[in-house]
């Protein structure tokens, strides 16, 4: 059984990876950052949604996870489209 401290650490883990991706300025490091952050967000989202004790999680975290997922998808589209490739050439 997980305690509140472990849950807090998991929240901090996905949030740190998300912020690392959000503020990455190196185009060559961005794909790796996005991938790590996306997996961390989706893993935590699954934890929050699939748990039997949903009241254990705060609504703010669920909303933050959904917002982070949308932002990461937007960054992926920005960095992995043909139009982006044309802009950096």
Residue 3 banded pLDDT, cuts 50, 70, 90? low
The Cα–Cα gap between 12 and 40 comes to 10
pTM of the predicted model as reported, rounded to 2 decimal places = 0.75
Query: By residue range, what is the domain housing residue 65?
Result: 4-88
Summarize pLDDT for 23-38 with one digit per residue, the tens: 999 989 999 999 999 9
CA 10 to CA 58: how far, in whole Å? Answer: 13
Q: What is the pLDDT of residue 18?
A: 97
Instruction: Specify the number of domains making up the chain.
Output: 1
């Amino acid at each position: 059984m997980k305690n509140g401290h472990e849950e807090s650490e998991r929240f901090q883990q996905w949030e740190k990876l998300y912020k690392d991706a959000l503020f990455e300025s190196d185009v060559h490091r961005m794909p790796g950052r996005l991938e790590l952050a996306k997996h961390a967000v989706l893993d935590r989202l699954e934890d929050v949604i699939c748990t039997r004790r949903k009241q254990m999680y705060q609504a703010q975290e669920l909303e933050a996870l959904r917002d982070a997922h949308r932002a990461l998808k937007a960054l992926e589209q920005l960095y992995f489209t043909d139009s982006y490739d044309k802009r950096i050439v």
